[in-house]
A and B are shown apart, each in its own frame.
Chain A
């Protein structure tokens, strides 16, 4: 069982290096093959006006989930966790993301204590690429 958490605790910080190869590998996990702004630079240029493909926002969801899972433990997070992110800037080949978070709230719910963390994803320039919240319920 996870130990009680308190407001002000920090999540394990993660650093992730983004490559186009990783972006395309993530895309290849799908069950339908399709060209998109993540695996086709020309399509990204046409639709977004960028000179590069961008990483799926779901990669950031996965990174944040890893940090939360390491904080709460898999028995808790994998069965009661949630992630909510707003994407602010593109993530692309060559970026180095840092995922961090702080516990900001706890509340008693029917099946335990819901713990909420404020989440930040920053690139190597210190610019936020995504912000949001993560939660889990500790029995």
Chain B
């Protein structure tokens, strides 16, 4: 895990292409079992989805008091991770933009295991004005 001081997240200061660094962890059988139980799929191969590699990469660099709502995800699967193996994750800011006056940020993480097997690439489209989404869901306020 990175041993660095966290920065305060500021949408205006985040840069497209900004590297979020990398981190490693060991995927355990317990993590896999827990993930499979949470989604009622005993053969689910990618517990990495629940580790939220991209959001974790962001959280290892920034303190984000704004929060955000996940507006969308793109996941690519290459090889199922193997319990007991170390996973290395590399994250970055893929994009940011305004749509209908709402700020969006796209974070991305790519994971490979200790043998260099590509595991997964995940992108998350975060809308960084979450109260606006709440109003849409509950227009009566």
B29 interface residue per 8 A CB criterion: no
A6 interface residue per 8 A CB criterion: no
How many A-B residue pairs have C-beta atoms within 8 angstroms? Tell me: 132
Find out whether the CB atom of A83 lies under 8 angstroms from the CB atom of B134: no
Find out whether the CB atom of A56 lies under 8 angstroms from the CB atom of B70: yes
Q: Among the listed A28, A30, A66, which residue makes an inter-chain contact with B44, where contact means beta carbons less than 8 Å apart?
A: A66
- In the complex, A62 Cα to B59 Cα: how many Å? 22
B110, chain A: closest CB distance, angstroms:
14
- In the complex, A106 Cα to B104 Cα: how many Å? 31
Find out whether the CB atom of A58 lies under 8 angstroms from the CB atom of B49: yes
B90, chain A: closest CB distance, angstroms:
15
Size range of the chain B interface in the assembly = 35 or more
B52 interface residue per 8 A CB criterion: yes
Find out whether the CB atom of B59 lies under 8 angstroms from the CB atom of A34: yes
A22, chain B: closest CB distance, angstroms:
5
A10 interface residue per 8 A CB criterion: no
A13 interface residue per 8 A CB criterion: no
Find out whether the CB atom of B44 lies under 8 angstroms from the CB atom of A57: no
Find out whether the CB atom of A66 lies under 8 angstroms from the CB atom of B41: yes
Find out whether the CB atom of B70 lies under 8 angstroms from the CB atom of A30: no
- In the complex, A49 Cα to B139 Cα: how many Å? 10
Q: Among the listed A32, A43, A61, A87, which residue makes an inter-chain contact with B56, where contact means beta carbons less than 8 Å apart?
A: A32
Chain B residues in 8 Å Cβ range of A89: 137
Residues from 43 to 80 in B contacting A, C-beta threshold 8 Å: 43-47, 49-52, 56, 59-60, 67, 69-80
| Count, chain A residues at interface, CB 8 A | 44
Chain B residues in 8 Å Cβ range of A87: 69-73
Chain A, residues 16-52, CB within 8 Å of chain B (1/0): the string is 1100001001111111101011000001000111100
- In the complex, A87 Cα to B133 Cα: how many Å? 11
Find out whether the CB atom of B73 lies under 8 angstroms from the CB atom of A49: no
- Residue from A29, A32, A57, A132 with most neighbouring chain B CB atoms (10 Å): A29
Q: Among the listed B47, B73, B130, B138, which residue makes an inter-chain contact with A37, where contact means beta carbons less than 8 Å apart?
A: B130
Find out whether the CB atom of A26 lies under 8 angstroms from the CB atom of B50: yes
Seen from chain A, the residues whose Cβ lies within 8 Å of a Cβ on chain B are 16-17, 22, 25-32, 34, 36-37, 43, 47-50, 56-59, 61-63, 65-66, 69, 74, 77-87, 89-90, 132
Seen from chain B, the residues whose Cβ lies within 8 Å of a Cβ on chain A are 25, 31, 34-35, 37-41, 43-47, 49-52, 56, 59-60, 67, 69-80, 124, 130-131, 133-135, 137-138, 141
